[in-house]
């Protein structure tokens, strides 16, 4: 595809449910990033992959958050036992040269 | 503690005039800076970037200026057009971190630019 795609675009979950958010990066991009954007804030870094290796997960807010990229392309961000404070837009970005990151449209997660 | 600050939540500019968006940072390790534009319900779109070895980078109507000593950068848009109305985010990274590899970006809170006809 031409750009980064994410699915679903919108997700509503009941408190305590598990959710899985998918990211398809730009073909050939080695680096993949996940960000969380709360209302009225800028995106905040969650985790970073170089190919299939998760090199930085310092931004993950708790051990309920887990990300994987098993084959070095598609990535999944999983949130277990969702809480209301997890409500946010989750953005995925990819880059080839590790400088400019290109973002997908995001998944808006609402936890009721 | 915010490492990247955009102190103007909103800015209104008349069409055809210059728009100047400002950004300050506190982390002296930052050496690569980017501006993104965001429309509602879309992801941020890359606009322009600048490395700390430069003090200016220009791309069409967009120019970014970097003042390292003041830890300040600005985005100039001239002339401003109605399609420029969006939220603009300043972002920074320690690209040349000795740890190597890519680096997660640190974003400001954004400035909502409104271009008035």
What is the CATH classification number for the domain harbouring A65? 2.60.40.10
- Domain of A93 in residue numbering reads as 5-107
Q: Tell me which chain B residues have a C-beta less than 8 angstroms from the C-beta of A103.
A: 36, 43-46
Whether A112 is covered by a domain: the verdict is no
Of these ranges, A94-103, B28-37, B71-80, B90-99, the one predicted with the greatest mean pLDDT is B71-80
Question: Edge to edge, what strands does the sheet with B62-67 contain?
Answer: B4-5, B19-25, B72-77, B62-67, B56-59
Whether A31 is covered by a domain: the verdict is yes
CB-based contact, B21 to chain A, within 8 Å: no
Size of interface A-B (CB pairs under 8 A): 68
Structural domain total, chain A: 1
Whether domain B4-97+109-116 has CATH 2.10.10.100: the reply is no
- The H or E element spanning position A40 is none
Q: Indicate the average pLDDT of chain B.
A: 92
- Say yes or no for a CB contact (<8 Å) between A48 and B41: no
| Span A50-109, pLDDT tens digits | 999 999 999 999 999 999 999 999 999 999 999 999 999 999 999 987 678 999 999 999
Does the pLDDT of residue B101 top 60, yes or no? no
CB-based contact, B107 to chain A, within 8 Å: yes
Report residue B95's pLDDT band, with 50, 70 and 90 as the boundaries.
low
């Amino acid at each position: 595809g031409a750009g980064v795609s994410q699915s679903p675009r919108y997700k509503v979950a009941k408190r305590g449910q598990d959710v899985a958010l998918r990211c398809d990066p730009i073909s050939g991009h080695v680096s993949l990033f996940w960000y969380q954007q709360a209302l009225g804030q800028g995106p905040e870094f969650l985790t970073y992959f170089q190919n299939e290796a998760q090199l930085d997960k310092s931004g993950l807010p708790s051990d309920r958050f887990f990300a994987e990229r098993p084959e070095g392309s598609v990535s999944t961000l999983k949130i277990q036992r969702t809480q209301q404070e997890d409500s946010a837009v989750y953005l995925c970005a990819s880059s080839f040269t590790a400088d400019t990151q290109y973002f997908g449209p995001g998944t808006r997660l609402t936890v009721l | 503690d915010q490492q990247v600050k955009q102190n103007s939540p909103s800015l209104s500019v008349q069409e055809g005039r210059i728009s100047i968006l400002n950004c300050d940072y506190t982390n002296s390790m930052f050496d690569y800076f980017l501006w993104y534009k965001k429309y509602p319900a879309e992801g941020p779109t890359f606009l322009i970037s600048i490395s700390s070895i430069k003090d200016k980078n220009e791309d069409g109507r967009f120019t970014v200026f970097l003042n390292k000593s003041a830890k300040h950068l600005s985005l100039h848009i001239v002339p401003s057009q109605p399609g420029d109305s969006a939220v603009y985010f300043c972002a920074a990274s320690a690209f040349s971190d000795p740890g190597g590899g890519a680096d997660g970006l640190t974003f400001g809170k954004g400035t909502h630019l409104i271009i008035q006809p």
